[in-house]
Copies of this chain bind each other. A is one copy, B any other.
Amino acid sequence: MLDWEDLKYFLAMAEHGSLSAAARKLNVSQPTLSRRLTALEENIGAELFARTRAGLEMTLLGEQMRHHARHMQDDVHAIERLVTGHDSSLSGSVMISCIEAIGAIWLVEQLGPFIEQYPGITVDVKVDNAVSDLLRREADIALRMFRPVQNDLVARRTVTMNYGYYASRSYLEARGVPDALKDLKEHNFILPHDEILTHTKTDPRKVYSLARSATFRSNSMMALATAVESGFGIGAYSCVMAKDKPDLVRLFDDLVVFSTDIWLVSHAELRRSARIRAMYDFLGDMLMEQSEAFAGRFHAAAAE
């Protein structure tokens, strides 16, 4: 009779390519995996991996077994979701997956009241440019820029996050304030890589094409923001982030360069968990309360 735990180990080896890597992932030692693999192979009477200096190389049988083991893992994840969903206590942890642009700063700042209200809950913010798989329990709640396509997920569109052109006061003092878009040709420009604009609603390239060339580029919104703050030039900056930066000046009559919707996503079963539900509702409320700030309309409100 096969040892199911060995199959779990097998899958980790198959997916990480070496005993050492799999051992790190599973929090066991490499010798343990080596022995369990040997035992499994002994048990089934066939080789699953060829051991090479570079790691493990799967045999044909291993390749076929891998699919079934993966399938088993899906069921384990389903069980984990069930278990979490049945947990009615307000303690444990909640993992939130979101992109750097809001996770690293805005989200963390907002969580103060939640942490105070639920001292038993550990909040885990996973800043993650890849998309965490909620079905695989890589996160409990995700903030996404798009409606998720997977089944069994509950998703709610919350705020629209606008980006405007900003520059630092120091830059503008040195180079002058551009009056209209055509003046951009005379200025330094800070540009994001195309890859991080996949989910924007306005096509930013049209606007960006006005810029002569880039002084600074990055695929990190945080790096771009820092560049703007440091006076490297004019760049798109999230309105909600700019709210508390008195040193930044918004240009061109609050022109919206591009915008993205923010989706709040969780798993149907996970939402039965009291603590996840609490966080989901908290984030939903928090986002909706600040929808004006995300839209960048706080300037207007302050001016009136």
User: Contacts of A80 on B, CB cut-off 8 Å?
Assistant: 2, 44
Give the secondary structure class of A's interface: helix
Contact of A68 among B7, B65, B78 (CB under 8 A): B78
Number of interface residues of A (CB under 8 A): 31
Whether A46 and B5, one on each chain, are in contact in the complex, defined by CB atoms closer than 8 angstroms, is: no
A81-89, A161-169, A214-222: which lies at the B interface? A81-89
Whether B45 and A83, one on each chain, are in contact in the complex, defined by CB atoms closer than 8 angstroms, is: yes
Whether B46 and A61, one on each chain, are in contact in the complex, defined by CB atoms closer than 8 angstroms, is: no
Q: How many copies does the complex hold?
A: 2
Query: Is A282 among interface residues, defined by CB-CB distance under 8 A?
Result: no
Query: Is A75 among interface residues, defined by CB-CB distance under 8 A?
Result: yes
Q: A44-B83, A68-B82 are in contact. List 12 more A-B contacts (CB 8 A).
A: A1-B27, A2-B79, A4-B76, A5-B5, A7-B76, A46-B87, A61-B86, A65-B82, A65-B83, A68-B75, A69-B79, A72-B76
Residues on A facing B (Cβ under 8 Å): 1-5, 7-8, 26-27, 44-46, 60-61, 64-65, 68-69, 71-72, 75-76, 78-80, 82-83, 86-87, 89, 92
Can you list the 6 inter-chain pairs with the closest CB atoms, starting with the nearest? A4-B4, A5-B5, A68-B75, A44-B83, A4-B8, A72-B72
Q: What are 9 A-B pairs with beta-carbon distances under 8 A? A: A2-B80, A4-B72, A5-B5, A45-B87, A46-B83, A46-B86, A64-B82, A68-B75, A68-B78
